[in-house]
Structure 1
Amino acid sequence: MTSTPLPIENQQQNLDRVFLGELEVSRDRIAGPYGSLPTAGSTVFVTNMSRVERAIPTWAIIVAIAGFFVLTIFSLLFLLVKEDKVVGGYEVRISNPTGTLTSFVPVDARSAAWIWQDLQGRAAAAREIIASVTSSVH
């Protein structure tokens, strides 16, 4: 008999470390590729920097050009085809009075929604770690 794991919001968290992109939040420090910060007093921000771009796909341009010599008017209809593409990603920023660390998590159309949910859950877990460290310091 297998059990389905609870969503991250409903689980009791007893984590020692959480990864947010390239950043690692632990009880003693927050580490990134370009330095580290103390955990106490830090703030975690996750910003959606993705966008949807609409463009004519390459295949439609090629078909319109190739078909121009066969069916002039109908081949131009292929230029009306549009394709939506998700570009960009999510920025994770952790700040405290001594500095700021950032990480960028790129996304595409297939992964944008689940990565956003995953990052929000990880950010909540990181905030819990930071809150427990900050409360024990004071």
Structure 2
Amino acid sequence: MTEPNPYQAPDGEPEYQWGPEQPYGYPQSGGPAHAHPPEATLGYGTPGHGTPGYGYPPPAAGWSPTQAAGVPVPAYGPAPGGAPLVGIGDITVLQDSIVTPAGTMPLRGAVWNATDLSRTEESIPAYAIVLAIVFFLACLLGLLFLLIKERKTTGFIQVTVTSGGKHHSTMIPAHSPVAFQHVMSQVNYARSISSM
């Protein structure tokens, strides 16, 4: 312990002291016993004091979480174009326009198409085959397990919209045999409001 401290401040610089200048909870000189410590001793990101905590954006200029009496609060209304009427994949239909990743298209006169690219397969599951073999040895009723069928739908439903010289196509995954009917009902609704 006779070695000098390698982390000691160089000569001429004041040595860094850990902690706040005055311990929290002790009264300040000349102040009441319940006074808050100076601003420097408040924790980083303490609400209402100084800068916000790490990861939080700085408050907008002229904005405060609470407004003084008589100050008008900005009104937030619906987005331009109105509320969404229907959403088909990444296509959103508003009251007067169609919003897609390809851009905004006019709703009036839009041409909608839907194509079913899905298929439903029917097969005997593996557990039914195992049960049929096990119970076939016991009695012939094990063959009834071969009547168990499993349906699996795979593929996509393609929806295209053309309006105002723009074209957009989206693929919606089909997880059940009735997925195409569901998408067609949405497309038919979009067609009906496009013709108004």
Q: Deviations over 1:64-123 (max 9, x none)?
A: 45x18x7189488367435141403533222343222313142325xx17x61x433332
Deviates more, 1:70-79 or 1:95-104: 70-79
Amino acid at match of 1:128: S
**Runs of 4+ more than 6 Å apart:** none
Q: Secondary structure at the match of 2:161?
A: strand
Gaps of 5+ in 2: 1-82
Rg comparison, structure with higher value: 2
Equivalent runs, 1:6-85 vs 2, <5 Å: 17-32=85-100, 34-39=101-106, 40-65=108-133, 67=134, 71=137, 74=140, 77=143, 80-85=146-151
Corresponding residue number in structure 2 for 1:124: 188
Question: What is the percent sequence identity of the aligned residues?
Answer: 23
Gaps of 5+ in 1: 1-14, 133-138
Q: Distance in 2 between matches of 1:16 and 1:31?
A: 10
Deviation of the 1:41 alpha carbon: 4.1
Q: Distance in 2 between matches of 1:124 and 1:62?
A: 46
Corresponding residue number in structure 1 for 2:168: 100
**Do 1:46 and 1:120's aligned partners in 2 also have CA atoms closer than 8 Å?**
yes
Deviation of the 1:55 alpha carbon: 0.7
Work out which structure has the larger RCO, using CA pairs closer than 8 Å and 6 or more positions apart in sequence. 1
